[in-house]
Structure 1
Amino acid sequence: MDSVGEVLNNKGRTVYTISPESTVFEAVQWMCARHVGALLVSIDGSPSGIISERDVMTRVILARRDPAKTLVADVMTREVVCVEPGTPARQAMAVMTERRCRHLPVVEDGRVIGMISIGDLVHWASHEQEAEIKMLTEYVQGVYS
C-alpha cells in the first residue's frame, strides 16, 4: 500500500503559502495563478492555518465581505489537519472524508514538506486500480506467472 510520501514523490513537494496579513483577494490571485485550491497560511515558516476556495466562498462571498479588504487571518481555517509521509494513502482519504477537507499538509519532524489534495489521492487510487486490473487480467489470461 502506498504512503502519502510516495504520492508526494510523484506529484511534487511544492507548498504555496501566504501571510495571514494578506488580503483574500491576493490569496485568490495566488491560487488562480498557481492552479491550486488552497494555500498554507504561514508565519515565519510555521503553519498557522489554511485558506481554501471553500473558505472564500463561505466566509467571504456568502458573508458579503469585500475580498480586497478582508484579511486571510480573518477567514482562514485555523484547525489544520495534517498527516505524516508514512500515512497510508487510503487513511489520508479517510481523514479527508471524515473531516470534510480537500487538502492536507504533510508534516515531517514538525515542518511541512508538502501538501496533498483529494485530487492527488483520486489520481493515486486510479493508478492503483489500473495496476490491479492489469495484474488480474494477466492472471486470468495465463500470462501472469
Structure 2
Amino acid sequence: METVGNILGDKGAQVYKVGPGTTVLHAVQQMCAMRVGAVLVCDGTACTGIFTERDLMTRVILNGLDPTTTQVTEVMTADIACVQPATPASEAMAIMTERRCRHLPVVEEGEIVGVISIGDLVRWDSRNQAFELRMLTDYIHGKYPG
C-alpha cells in the first residue's frame, strides 16, 4: 500500500512557508517563483493556515481586495486538514475530495514534514495504474512468471 510518506520521498519534502504579515502579492510572487499552488502561513513553527490559488481567486480577486495591502492571514484557509506520512495515498485523496482542497500538510510528531498536492496523488495513481496494466498485459500474453 502506497503511503503519503512514500510519495513525499519521491517528490521531496520541501515545505514552502510565508509569515503571517506577508502580503498577498508577496505570497503570490513566491508561489510563482517556486511553481507551487499553495504556501503555509506560519509564525515560527506554528502554522495557522494555508494560502492557496483558490484563496486568491475567491477571497481576494472576487472581493476586490488589494493584493499589495491585504495580508495572507486575512484571506487564508485557517481550517487545515492534515495527514501523516503513514496515511494511505488513497485516504489522502479521499480527504481532498471530501474537503474540496488541493493541498494537505503532512505532519509527523507535531512537525510539518511536507505538503502533498492533488497533482502528486494523481501522478501516483497514474503510475500505479500503468504498472497494473503492464502486469495484466504480461499475464495475458504469458510473460508473467506465475
- Report if TM-score (shorter chain) is over 0.5: yes
Counting matched residue pairs gives 145
The residue that corresponds to 2:21 in the other structure is 21
Aligned partner of 1:86: which letter? A
1:36-85 deviations in Å (ceiling 9; x for gaps): 00001101122110000000111110000000000011011101110000
Read off the aligned partner of 1:20 and give its amino acid letter.
Answer: P
SS in 1 for 2:15: coil
Distance of 1:56 and 1:83 partners within structure 2: 24
What code does the residue aligned with 2:100 have?
R
1:129 aligns with 2:129: yes
Q: Indicate whether 1:67 and 2:101 are aligned.
A: no
Amino acid at match of 1:65: L
Residue 20 of structure 1, CA deviation = 1.1
User: What is the RMSD of the two structures over their aligned residues, measured on CA atoms?
Assistant: 0.5
1:44 alignment counterpart: 44
Determine if the alignment matches structure 1 residue 92 to structure 2 residue 102.
no
Specify every segment of 5 or more residues in structure 2 that has no aligned partner in the other structure, as ranges: none
Instruction: Tell me the TM-score normalized by structure 2.
Output: 0.98
Q: Does 1:144 align with 2:144?
A: yes
What residue number does 2:115 align with? 115
TM-score with structure 1 setting the length: 0.99
Instruction: Measure how far apart 1:136 and its partner are.
Output: 0.5
SS at match of 2:129: helix
**4+ long deviations beyond 6 Å:** none
Unaligned runs of at least 5 residues, structure 1: none
